[in-house]
Amino acid sequence: MTTPNKPRPLADQIPELTTNRLSLYLRCLNELDQAGVRTISSKGMAEQFQLNAPQIRKDLAYFGEFGVRGVGYYVKELKRHLRQILGLDREVRVAIIGAGNLGQALADYPGFRREGFTIVALFDAAPEKIGRQSRGGVPILDIKALRRIVRRDRVDIVVVAVPAGAARATVNKVVSAGVRAVLNFSPGAIRVPPDVKLKNVDLTVSMESLSFFLRRERGRDRHERPTEGPRNSRGMPTEWRHG
């Protein structure tokens, strides 16, 4: 018996970790599609990409019934549904505030366009940058024009890549311009209204987490390394004897 795909309306309360995993599943499906795979089970997907099969089924169940009994998931169909769920079946327009090294690198990243994100503009307050372009051709505009450009170009998401001291005022300016989705690369806690979604990416926190991992591993190595006995002046163990 087969069960057709049955998407359901999006629920109001869906765990953010679930939506994060949908992005991971979509990447896996892209890879499978490129490899010519037509169908795959949750178990097969979990084994191939080091995922959890029950978790895959639970996450997808929030959004409908997508599997076919005895077959699994049709890769192209599930990929299409996930893109719809994530809002990637349309162009998502993005602006970046901060035309420094990070901001321009983000603006020129080709992966965004491949996934449907269009970088419409960079913004900055430095007169020497305004009127120029990133290497990829994204125009750098005056931050004073933010509200006008947001409305004119129907900007969906704003990325904030400014120094920490300017982050709070910048986010407030973005919210005042009517943007409801903000990705912030500046460190520090920033509050936004309930109807605005703010995601923070703190690279320092990630580096500190990796540093902790390395420190723990070094400590583990020291505990596991065999202890060596005393050596003589020639570097040979003292228990060695020569005839």
Whether 116 and 91 have beta carbons less than 8 Å apart is answered as: yes
* CATH superfamily entry for domain 92-203: NAD(P)-binding Rossmann-like Domain (3.40.50.720)
Inter-residue long-range contacts of 199-205, CB under 8 Å, 24+ positions, other chains counted: none
H-helix or E-strand containing 104?
A: helix 101-107
Calculate ∠ Cα 89-93-95, nearest 5°.
155
pTM of the predicted structure, to 2 decimals = 0.80
> What backbone phi and psi angles, to 5 degrees, belong to 220?
-65, -40
Q: Which CATH class is domain 6-85?
A: mainly alpha
Q: What is the pLDDT along the chain (243 residues), one digit of tens a residue?
A: 344 566 655 555 789 999 999 999 999 999 999 999 999 999 999 999 999 999 999 999 999 989 888 899 999 999 999 999 999 999 999 999 999 999 999 999 999 998 999 999 999 999 999 999 999 999 999 999 999 999 999 999 999 999 999 999 999 999 999 999 999 998 888 999 999 999 999 888 889 999 999 998 887 776 665 555 566 655 555 554 554
* Residue 93 DSSP code: E
Identity of the residue numbered 181: A
Q: What pLDDT does 87 receive? A: 93
Domains 6-85 and 92-203 share a fold: no
Whether 181 and 171 have beta carbons less than 8 Å apart is answered as: no
Domain boundaries, the chain: 6-85, 92-203
Count of C-beta atoms within a 10 Å radius of residue 193 = 8
Calculate ∠ Cα 7-15-196, nearest 5°.
100
What radius of gyration do the chain's Cα atoms show? 26
Orientation angle between helical segments 53-61 and 42-49, nearest 10 degrees: 120
